Amino acid sequence: GHIDRNVGEDPRLEIFKKEWFAGKDCLDIGCNQGLVTIGLAMKFVCRSILGVDIDKGLIETANWNLRRISRTGNVAPESAKVHNSSDSTTQSCREEVVSEMPNGNISKHEQPDLFEIVSFRSENFVQSTHRYTEQYDTIMCLSVTKWIHLNWGDDGIITLFVKIWSLLRPGGIFIMEPQPWTSYRKNRLVSEVAKENFNDICIYPEKFREILLDKVGFRSAEVITNRLVGSVAGFDRPIEVYHK
């Protein structure tokens, strides 16, 4: 899965647009170990970005990653350095980040203070009782709809979408990378609950767009397909962007 990719930048960062993140308040739902969250903060300099995940262990790892990366400026995990001593993936990753700075100055001090931008929280987003204030410009849900769907059923997925819409400022965007129905089948036996939900689901992933536009109230949708040549298997899922 995505977690095993040790080297360099997550390919999704290459197709994300700067204007979705630069100077924006962002929320990453199902942030996993936080590498995409932190990568976005470094590459585009968000105003703020919060990563939430239901798994406390992953959030702990995300906070370790934040400490490590703010110290080294290097998104690839420590273990990757050993394998990579011959080529300079880790190095170029760093330079790319720096070159994003307006004056192209390579001074490390020009880099944003990640601790002021990035934070992580363990929570069950679907069941949490957020105050529904419009507080984000950009909300992401990458490869996480399947798990919410299998764990909380159609109700969970509707709650997710409505909550996201409510938390977005007018003109805000929702970036979603939904897993296809075929991949649910593989995971339907992870638990009794998942098995039951799998059998009861009526809102298939191909209906998500219709629901987001017609029922939830997003204005428009665009599909950004991963154009990366020779991209790693599993990263060729289309990414959908919804505008509030």
> Whole-angstrom Cα distance, residue 49 to residue 46?
6
Beta bridge partners of 17: none
> Whole-angstrom Cα distance, residue 121 to residue 212?
26
| Confidence category of residue 60, pLDDT binned at 50, 70, 90 | very high
> Whole-angstrom Cα distance, residue 225 to residue 230?
14
In this structure, are residues 126 and 159 in contact, taking their beta carbons and an 8 Å threshold? yes
Quickly name the fold that domain 25-75+111-123 has.
Rossmann fold (3.40.50)
95-109 residue pLDDT tens: 444 444 454 444 444
Averaged over 47-68, what is the pLDDT? 96
Give the three-state DSSP class for 132: coil
Do domains 25-75+111-123 and 141-243 share one topology? The answer is yes
In the chain, what are the domain boundaries?
Answer: 25-75+111-123, 141-243
In this structure, are residues 126 and 161 in contact, taking their beta carbons and an 8 Å threshold? no
User: Which CATH number, 3.40.1000.10, 3.40.50.150, 1.10.10.10, 3.40.50.720, labels domain 141-243?
Assistant: 3.40.50.150
Which segments of the chain does DSSP mark as H helices, in order?
12-15, 18-21, 35-44, 56-72, 78-83, 89-99, 114-117, 145-167, 181-187, 192-200, 208-210
How would DSSP label each residue in 49-79? EEEEES-HHHHHHHHHHHHHHHHH---S-HH
Task: Write down the mean pLDDT value for the chain.
Answer: 83
Give the three-state DSSP class for 120: strand
Q: What percent of the chain has pLDDT over 70?
A: 76
What is the predicted pLDDT for the residue at 10?
80
Helix (H) or strand (E) holding 180, with range, is none
